Structure 1
Amino acid sequence: MSRRRPRAVVAVAPGVVFVEGPVSNWVVLAEEDGVALVDAGYPADAGLVLDTIRYAGHDPADLRRVYVTHGHVDHIGGLPAILEAHPGVTVLAHADEVEAVRGPERDQATLGDIGGRIAAPRVLGWAARAVRSGGLDPVTVPPARAFTARDFDERAIAPLPAPGHTLGSTAYLLPAADALVTGDAVVTHHDVQPRLWSPRPRMIPALFTADTATAVESAAALPLPGIVLPGHGPAVHRVGDRWVPIGH
């Protein structure tokens, strides 16, 4: 049992459990042949990810695949330990993102990139949590491969390209749930942003993004259904012209 605790675990639709983790998020999906994940948190989250699979009513031994939104450590860091325990799991990412997922080299903001902003209390608090979570670990996921259209045949999930945050950033549409898993292409809140900001779909702070102009274009092109499941911040659902957090 992991000592880490999620901020929220929410069943947003049948077979779809959203986990707002300690610092970043993931999703547990019931699929036809077992269970799947979208992303897997930081290295320190591996045990918690497996706990949330159990919470969702599944046996971690039934984990079949992980769909990766992008290759940053806060979204793939749990994979090495998960794959060590369950070596048959398939790890899928956009072709432009596979090398970043395999690592250890990847285009990701460093403490040096943050520079003087580290002195801001919100930024310092986030950085400390990220480091404690294994954010500086040299994560590698050698089995990762590029997904193809066949990987989504007869599945209730579809990839949507969302480049900009990283070269191969990908969102995943869950049509039956009227939900979109956005990774960091769209977030609802980030720890470096003011706490008083109401959760809603928004851009992640630019310092975390490789190509801001492309990221803005990608975010504008994404269809936002009734439910948004972000890489950071709470899940939200649309109520009239407002976005309301789920499970808070």
Structure 2
Amino acid sequence: MLPLTAGEGRAFNAAVMWDEQDVVLVDTGLPMMQTVIKTALEELGIPFARLNRVIITHHDTDHLGSLPELLNTATKLTVMAHAAEKPFIEGIEHLLVKIEKPIQSLPPAEKEERRQAYLKRKTVTVDKPLVDGEELPYCGGIVVIHTPGHTPGHICLYHKSSKTVIAGDATVAEAGRLQGPSPIFTVDMAEAKQSLKKLLDYEIEQIICYHGGLVNENVREQLQAVTA
């Protein structure tokens, strides 16, 4: 887990996996958090210059945000995301329904400001589109699990050697307890809950939730509870 703290007390839990060949970062926080990421990596003993792969779980700004800055400074960085999320990350398509629920209570002018901010956000090119069930040969093996619902191309990742699921926004957590998908930020709740059931196919010792952090007690039972 790679905790990232932004202003106003906002905290995110990205993930990093590394070995002698690769350093793989999963999600990149908000825009302008490159220095935060660099510091967090170096606190783990990982030189920033070794970062060579980034996997994006989905295109929300708090996951994709600092990737453009990382690409400006990293000498060799391969960007990966699910094929269904690629057009949103690259700005070819827009998922305005994704932001309508969170902004519905705002005044009209602020609503429009948020919509325009979404439409004008920085985009990046996905170098390697991913598919469900694909195993990436990095850091002991990383399995791609397509978990649509939060967004059409949302993915979780299963790190085989540590038996860890990197959940993105497929589920949030609070005080070490899974809470399931967040209704206000999820495009299709029924699909999101159904997608979570796919995680039960894996032997999991811990789950890293981007919002809420680490869950490592009675993981299977907790998954069963939030997918019931």
Smaller-chain TM-score range?
0.7 to 0.9
> Do the aligned partners of residues 236 and 86 (structure 1) sit closer, same or farther apart at CA in structure 2, a change above 3 Å counting?
same
Deviation at 1:32, TM superposition (A): 4.0
Match of 2:206 in 1: 227
Give the letter aligned to residue 187 of structure 1.
V
Residue 172 of structure 2 contacts residue 182 of structure 2 at CA under 8 Å; is this kept in 1?
no
- Aligned partner of 1:61 among 39, 49, 74: 49
Match of 1:147 in 2: 130
> Do the aligned partners of residues 105 and 79 (structure 1) sit closer, same or farther apart at CA in structure 2, a change above 3 Å counting?
same
Question: Per-residue displacement from partner, 1:149-188 (whole Å, max 9, x unpaired)?
Answer: 8871364211111111111111000121121000001111
Q: Give the Cα separation in 2 of the matches to 1:220 and 1:112.
A: 25
* 1:179 and 2:151 are equivalent in the alignment: no
Give the letter aligned to residue 213 of structure 2.
P
- Aligned partner of 2:36 among 48, 51, 55: 48
Q: Give the Cα separation in 2 of the matches to 1:135 and 1:25.
A: 22
Match of 1:128 in 2: none
Q: Give the Cα separation in 1 of the matches to 2:69 and 2:57.
A: 19
Deviation at 1:139, TM superposition (A): 2.1
Give the letter aligned to residue 146 of structure 1.
P
Residue 164 of structure 1 contacts residue 211 of structure 1 at CA under 8 Å; is this kept in 2?
yes
- Aligned partner of 1:77 among 65, 71, 74: 65
> Do the aligned partners of residues 87 and 147 (structure 1) sit closer, same or farther apart at CA in structure 2, a change above 3 Å counting?
farther
Q: TM-score, normalised by structure 2?
A: 0.78
Match of 2:192 in 1: 215
Aligned residues: 205
Match of 1:90 in 2: 78
Indicate the SS of the match to 1:217: helix
Deviation at 1:67, TM superposition (A): 1.2
Deviation at 1:38, TM superposition (A): 0.7
* 1:158 and 2:143 are equivalent in the alignment: yes
Identity over aligned residues, as a percent? 27
Indicate the SS of the match to 1:215: helix
> Do the aligned partners of residues 242 and 152 (structure 1) sit closer, same or farther apart at CA in structure 2, a change above 3 Å counting?
closer
Residue 98 of structure 1 contacts residue 144 of structure 1 at CA under 8 Å; is this kept in 2?
no
Runs of at least 5 residues in structure 2 that lack an aligned partner in the other structure? 108-113, 223-228
Runs of at least 5 residues in structure 1 that lack an aligned partner in the other structure? 1-16, 120-130, 190-197, 244-248
Q: TM-score, normalised by structure 1?
A: 0.72
Give the letter aligned to residue 213 of structure 1.
A
Indicate the SS of the match to 2:36: helix
Q: CA RMSD in A?
A: 2.9
Give the letter aligned to residue 189 of structure 2.
T
